[in-house]
A and B are shown apart, each in its own frame.
Chain A
């Protein structure tokens, strides 16, 4: 595109029509920020709920219960589950949350037995600070997920009240598991006491299966095992479990995606309007350019270039704002003790930038074509 050689001229137009440019870029940035924010929520939901062929985790919950407050299973189910063929490991967990509703500031405690840690239940986590030894030494110790720690400004050695439970921060952990980012891992018996339950009751069992292909078989086998028990179970793959618990959020985020696409259309309309108005304002300028020898195509490229700069600058500012919010805000939506992390992923960034470029070029095309097709002498007669 030969307009690159004339970029300084286009930049001067953008900078020196300051009011118009600031308003247009501001509008585009706001719309693209909303687009990225919606995409970030969608990505979080997708990551938390979309099943893959490599999934090996099952969640065993109390049948017909949908909240950690009401799902109570005897801890001694652990041995019976472990004896089912295809089960690799069983982890009894007591979930404690400060509320069961959906929110951005819900703290989830996962109480796990000391022995499970020795058996590798937390082998997948990496310690950013502290150590597993710190955690083992104190009954009120907790390992805090990286996002939760960043959000609350926590560090090892702090004593902190999280949702009514006071714990000692023994370590800050990072994990590839989405559900580990915003939780506090505490001792099972401590969590049982702190949440007002009797010892011996847990919220759920997390079951690792030795073969991803046997997930359904094992899930059915577990539910059959406890079909006639006083506390029957309902077993799901972990991602299906999250999808069920977060069904309302999934639906809302699905709807919000349409709003995101609406924002893109808004960007197009905004830039198109700004360029149409400025081209109408500059009929004489373009006629002067053509008089001194600028070919029609070059005039059109200058207009498209200006439209592209407005749209792309707005898109980049919107992206910066969205990245800032998701990176430093450490946002996560919690529902029924499960976390959905709001994070802008690389694919969304790429899609947003491509859309900014595309809408910028598209919005400039029609005004550019009109401006370049006008007869020069007619332009001077018109103004």
Chain B
């Protein structure tokens, strides 16, 4: 069984009276420890798929097994606990809490775990060190650049050592240099820390950092590229 396994996965909802089906009968396997990029035009279902994998949305039908757990069978409360243990989420617009410092934002997921203040401090310090922002721990989000904010968001996503990191267009709001730094950081987390990474992107250049790129259109998977066939993966 694959680490992430989707079978006939469908998600639909209503916007007003109009039914919308961003994802329809999707079959997909993602192996543990891989870096997968999801591409596709707006409305193709990329973010919906990412949210389903992250457990912040639930499928309308079909099955979704992540790390051996059938997410459709979990209650909202169970899903919350599962997310705390399993998922690190990186948003396009960083979504740092504005009244908390970089340190406090990163510490947020750790509050859910039975850790002492000292243990939390050690973990946050290590995450800040990893993203290269050890000297910015007491800065508030509005005192950081976009790239730095995204680094803090990455630190928040990895600090509780989740099995899967999902990133929704993590470089969509950054300039090219900052985007390259963030993508390198994500690749390093995938390769050196060994975390499974699923990233939504619009930018073909970003896919060069991934081992595998999947294309979605109108809620369906269009093609798959094996790791070894991806030229940029070899280059990097």
- Residues of chain A touching chain B, judged by Cβ–Cβ distance below 8 Å, are 5-6, 9, 12-13, 16-17, 284-285, 287-297, 375-377, 380
Say yes or no: A295-B80 contact (C-beta < 8 A), given A9-B111, A377-B51.
Answer: yes
Interface pair A296/B76, CB less than 8 Å apart: yes
Interface pair B56/A376, CB less than 8 Å apart: yes
Q: How many A-B residue pairs have CB under 8 A?
A: 61
CB distance from A271 to the nearest CB of B (A): 19
Say yes or no: A292-B77 contact (C-beta < 8 A), given A17-B99, A284-B95, A285-B97.
Answer: no
Interface pair B111/A6, CB less than 8 Å apart: yes
| Secondary structure class of chain B's binding surface, majority of residues | helix
Closest 3 CB pairs of A and B: A293-B84, A16-B99, A292-B109
Q: Which residues of A contact B77 (CB under 8 A)?
A: 295-297
Interface pair A375/B108, CB less than 8 Å apart: no
**In the complex, what residue of chain B is closest to A288 when comparing beta carbons?**
B95
**In the complex, what residue of chain B is closest to A375 when comparing beta carbons?**
B57
Cα distance A17–B98 when bound, in Å?
10
Q: Which residues of A contact B95 (CB under 8 A)?
A: 284, 287-288
Q: Which residues of A contact B85 (CB under 8 A)?
A: 293
Cα distance A13–B77 when bound, in Å?
24
Query: What 8 additional pairs, Cβ within 8 angstroms, besides A9-B111, A376-B51?
Result: A12-B99, A287-B95, A288-B91, A288-B108, A290-B80, A291-B87, A294-B112, A380-B91
Q: Which residues of A contact B51 (CB under 8 A)?
A: 376-377
Q: Is B83 an interface residue (CB 8 A)?
A: yes
Q: Mark B55-66, 1 if CB is under 8 A from A, else 0.
A: 011000000000
Q: Which residues of B contact A287 (CB under 8 A)?
A: 95
Say yes or no: A292-B112 contact (C-beta < 8 A), given A16-B99, A284-B95, A285-B97.
Answer: yes
Interface pair B112/A293, CB less than 8 Å apart: yes
Q: Give the contacts of B72-105 with A (CB-CB under 8 A).
A: 76-77, 80-81, 83-85, 87, 89, 91, 95, 97-100, 104
CB distance from A9 to the nearest CB of B (A): 7
Q: Which residues of A contact B98 (CB under 8 A)?
A: 285
Partner of A291 from the list B54, B81, B99, B111 (CB cut-off 8 Å) is B54
CB distance from B155 to the nearest CB of A (A): 12
**In the complex, what residue of chain B is closest to A289 when comparing beta carbons?**
B108
Cα distance A374–B195 when bound, in Å?
30
Interface pair B100/A12, CB less than 8 Å apart: yes
Cα distance A5–B115 when bound, in Å?
12
Cα distance A13–B100 when bound, in Å?
8
Cα distance A291–B112 when bound, in Å?
12
Q: Is B46 an interface residue (CB 8 A)?
A: no
Cα distance A5–B56 when bound, in Å?
24
Interface pair A288/B97, CB less than 8 Å apart: yes
Cα distance A284–B108 when bound, in Å?
15
Q: Which residues of B contact A294 (CB under 8 A)?
A: 80, 84, 112
Q: Which residues of B contact A12 (CB under 8 A)?
A: 99-100, 104
CB distance from A205 to the nearest CB of B (A): 70
Q: Which residues of A contact B80 (CB under 8 A)?
A: 290, 293-296
Cα distance A9–B51 when bound, in Å?
26
Q: Is B212 an interface residue (CB 8 A)?
A: no
**In the complex, what residue of chain B is closest to A16 when comparing beta carbons?**
B99
